[in-house]
């Protein structure tokens, strides 16, 4: 897979070197089962038409530029992680647009002309709720109009589990409330972070990209593995913590000193000592009040 960063205004050289493709559109944080439906749909169309498969995403979440709702600055899959999953799904080109205030102001027709037709899109695939262009005025009803017959459009219907849309928002709410054991139902895999393990014996430090989306404070059962290693342990995540660092206590003594390209898998939430402590204080205070 080739990753092509794009800054607005899009360089003519990037447009001239682009290959005919099927383009899948979205931010794709997590590349969850709903996202995978988009990319698999686009991949099948690319195969049928003998075209390359491309994904267009953004370097920053649109919410960090568009002043509405919560600002998302931490991710289930930071860009490098997202790119790995795209590669596994058979994506040939990954366009990463720097989502600035200027990009947010691009009118929907201009976005189609410069970023879709400009990058040789012969077919565009997005989900039922995809929005594009200034004020999100472009949607999947507008896209065929804006295409002016220059590319085909496929709108993917909503992918649901337990009667709700599988979404990055849903995944964030599960992670932030410690319900990590429910993640595989919607993500198709456990919530994982890539990083490096250092230490000897049973207690080690796991260092990782601090932009990963963190779970609620508490004690978790985790698994750490890489191509040659696999071990289970406990990890206590505290609300006051050093960004990008966790302490893991493995169930067995380990002989290695350092493990690169390690993957930390969040398996189960065990206990929330901070909240338990809070509850305990609360119970104590109630007891004192009642005396």
Ligand X SMILES: Cc1cc2nc3c(=O)[nH]c(=O)nc-3n(C[C@H](O)[C@H](O)[C@H](O)COP(=O)(O)O)c2cc1C
Closer Cβ to ligand ATP, 126 or 259, answer by number: 126
The two three-digit tokens of residue 214, written as one number:
């963190």
CB of 73 to ligand X, least distance (A): 14
Closer Cβ to ligand X, 111 or 266, answer by number: 111
Site for ligand X in 112-141 (CB under 6 A): 131-136
Q: Where are the alpha helices (DSSP H) in 77-236?
A: 79-88, 101-104, 108-111, 143-147, 168-176, 183-187
Q: Residue 251: CB partners within 8 Å, gap ≥ 6? A: 202, 231, 232, 233, 234
Contact between 127 and ligand ATP per CB under 6 A? yes
Contact call for residues 200 and 254 (beta carbons, < 8 A): yes
Contact between 129 and ligand ATP per CB under 6 A? yes
Q: Residue 65: CB partners within 8 Å, gap ≥ 6? A: 99, 100, 101, 103, 104
Closer Cβ to ligand X, 132 or 151, answer by number: 132
Closer Cβ to ligand X, 25 or 187, answer by number: 25
Binding mask 22-51 for ligand ATP (x = CB under 6 A): ---xxxxx----xx-xx-------------
Contact between 177 and ligand ATP per CB under 6 A? no
**Alpha-carbon gap, residue 205 to 193, rounded angstroms:** 14
Closer Cβ to ligand X, 33 or 234, answer by number: 33
Contact call for residues 100 and 196 (beta carbons, < 8 A): no
Site for ligand X in 91-110 (CB under 6 A): 103-104, 106
Q: What spatial distance separates the first Cα and last Cα of the chain, rounded to whole Å?
A: 69
Interacting partner of 38 out of ligand X, ligand ATP, none (Cβ under 5 to 8 A depending on kind) = ligand ATP
Cα 1 to Cα 43, 51, 89, 132: the distances in Å are 14, 14, 10, 25
CB of 41 to ligand X, least distance (A): 18
Positions touching ligand ATP (CB under 6 A) are 25-29, 34-35, 37-38, 126-130, 156, 158-159, 165-169
Positions touching ligand X (CB under 6 A) are 62, 66, 103-104, 106, 111, 131-136
């Amino acid at each position: 897979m080739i990753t092509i960063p794009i800054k607005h205004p899009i360089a003519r050289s990037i447009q001239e070197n682009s290959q005919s493709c099927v383009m899948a559109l979205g931010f794709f944080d997590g590349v969850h089962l709903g996202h995978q439906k988009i990319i698999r749909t686009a991949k099948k169309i690319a195969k049928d038409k003998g075209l390359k498969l491309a994904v267009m995403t953004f370097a920053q979440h649109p919410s960090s530029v568009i002043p509405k709702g919560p600002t998302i600055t931490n991710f289930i899959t930071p860009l490098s992680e997202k790119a790995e999953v795209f590669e596994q799904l058979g994506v040939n080109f990954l366009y990463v647009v720097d989502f600035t205030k200027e990009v947010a102001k691009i009118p929907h027709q201009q976005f189609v002309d410069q970023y879709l037709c400009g990058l040789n899109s012969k077919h565009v695939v997005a989900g039922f709720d995809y929005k594009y262009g200034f004020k999100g005025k472009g949607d999947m009803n507008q896209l065929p109009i804006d295409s002016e017959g220059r590319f085909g459009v496929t709108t993917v219907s909503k992918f649901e589990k337990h009667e709700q849309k599988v979404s990055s928002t849903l995944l964030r709410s599960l992670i932030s409330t410690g319900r990590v054991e429910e993640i595989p139902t919607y993500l198709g895999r456990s919530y994982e972070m890539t990083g490096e393990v250092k230490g000897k014996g049973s207690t080690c430090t796991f260092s990782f990209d601090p932009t990963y989306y963190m779970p609620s404070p508490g004690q978790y059962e985790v698994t750490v593995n890489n191509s040659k290693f696999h071990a289970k342990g406990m990890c206590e995540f505290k609300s006051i913590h050093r960004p990008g660092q966790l302490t893991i206590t493995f169930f067995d003594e380990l002989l290695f000193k350092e493990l690169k390209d390690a993957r930390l898998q969040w398996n189960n939430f065990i206990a929330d000592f901070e909240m338990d402590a809070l509850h305990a204080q609360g119970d104590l205070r109630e007891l004192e009040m009642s005396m």
